[in-house]
Chains A and B, each alone.
Chain A
Amino acid sequence: MAAIEKYDLIVVGAGPAGSAAALVAARAGLKVIIFERGEFPGSKNMFGGVLFGHEINELIPNYWETAPVERALIEERYFLVSGNSATTIAMRTKDFAEPPYNGFSVLRARFDKWFADQAVEAGALLVCETLVESLIMDHGKCVGVKTGRADGDVYADCVIVAEGANSLLTRDAGIHAEWKTNEVGVGVKELIKMPKDVLENRFNLTGQEGVSMRILGLTKGMTGGVFLYTNKETVSLGFVAMIEDLAARGFKPNDLMEEIKSNPMIAPFIEGGSTVEYTAHMVPEQGYKSVPRLVHDGLLIAGDAAMISNLLTGEGANLAVTTGRLAGEAVVAAKAAGDYSALGLYSYQNALDASYVMKDLKQFKGFAGYLHGNPDLMDLYPQLANEFLKGLLTADGTPRGAKAKALLAEVKKKKSLFGIAKDLWRGWRVIK
């Protein structure tokens, strides 16, 4: 790679944000190069995972016809677990099994590769197995990147950093401090393989349909939770926990994983399956309050590296696609105007602010703090729900009126009704 070669745009990281940025910029005729440190795009990436498809579909209409998707998710199941019991709240619709679909479970080593290929087809140059070690700054303006290759300095009018939540480039450039233990969490996942028909019977699925589950009650009140997604022939089971909480409780992640797997309410979902992969990744948890300044002279930040994720709705990868796209479009506009300064690139921030991404992030900005401050939500509440409902359903010769009273008294021993009302009211306030 000649050191003197210059690009319009360098994209760091071929994940959903980076590939979306490269795709729109390459389509507009810009000279784009993407650096990916993995062997191929996606080889370093994992998520729960659902990819909500609306944003991809805008960029690549009918993407599901060519993209390596797993299952169209038709059901969201909330599963409140304690001891030997679980209360389920589920919403299932066949409408999500029809185009344009709502979202698919995907495996990132396959999907991200496909998505990056779309950027390459549009004309972007993809260079894998290449680590970007630092940003090259000139009088406060980003002018390129230093890669780990020999003669590896590459220059461009603009750089988009999309290196994920574990972002070192922007930290080293002084754009943000090291993440605090309450800003990020860790996601740990096992991919568990089982025969297709077993999986489909187990989750009551036909054809391409899939289920996503959010499981509360198994993470000792930590901010985060347990997730389960069905793929074609595998189940993704794992948890997310805020680093501060995990540290305070002193669990080893794998021990917690094993505890979750052996829970009597969870074990039947994975019985007979075999683990084919064990992965972990940093997760932005704090949302809006952690978002660093995203627009700089010659530099934009997109995706998880921008700390853009939604703990409440479970969105992340689709937000990354949107931020990448908007960043790419801002660079296209900057080229047309011949101004790559922060001012010239500021259309990125304006477009983000006007989009659902920032509107949702702002609206739910108190949510992570609310969960963090109320460990009961993830621990005691599932227990109370199960005990109350199990008691009501138990036919043991006690009159139901007397039983309900006694059960309520039991609930009050663990949490006052005023305390419950307060938690609910606060919860409503942070999401309304």
Chain B
Amino acid sequence: MKLEDKLFQDRYIVDEEHPHLKIKDPAACLNCEAKQCTQICPSEVYTWEEDHIDVAYGDCLECGTCRVACAEFNNIEWRYPRGGFGVMFKFG
């Protein structure tokens, strides 16, 4: 089963105005060999696009794994979405 089909089952209220995930210094990613964020995120929010990391924060499950995994560069600014936004588990 494809990830996108799974995420389609999840309910999200995306905060279009306020991304809650940000790459602090996009240039630092150029020096990051592992690019752990592109591997470790359960909903694959991060993808490497030629010269920068693209952040599809609307798919985030809010686990925080990416932030902890980006230990060497500490380059992910991770906030919780504003109240009432983000993923809303139906079952949990």
Contact = CB atoms under 8 A, between A and B. Distances in A.
Contact of A253 (B40, B64, B92): B40
A243 to B, nearest CB: 5
Contact of B84 (A39, A107, A188, A277): A39
B24 interface: no
A278 B92 contact: no
B39 A247 contact: yes
A188 B89 contact: no
Given A129-B84, A247-B39, A178 B92 contact: no
Contacts of B63: 166, 186-187, 280-282
A188 to B, nearest CB: 5
A275 B6 contact: yes
A243 B74 CA distance: 15
B7 A131 contact: no
A149 B83 CA distance: 8
Interface in A280-314: 280-282
Interface stretch (A40-48, A361-369, A387-395, A414-422): A40-48
B31 interface: no
Contact of A179 (B36, B41, B68): B68
Interface of A: 37-39, 42-47, 107-110, 112, 128-131, 147-149, 165-166, 168, 178-181, 184, 186-188, 190-191, 234, 243, 246-247, 250-254, 258, 261, 275-282
Interface of B: 1, 3, 5-7, 9-10, 13, 34, 36, 39-44, 61-65, 67-69, 71, 74, 78-84, 86-92
25 contacts: A37-B81, A47-B92, A107-B91, A109-B90, A110-B91, A149-B83, A166-B62, A166-B64, A168-B80, A181-B68, A186-B63, A243-B40, A243-B68, A246-B40, A246-B69, A247-B34, A247-B39, A247-B69, A275-B6, A277-B91, A278-B3, A280-B42, A280-B63, A282-B63, A282-B68
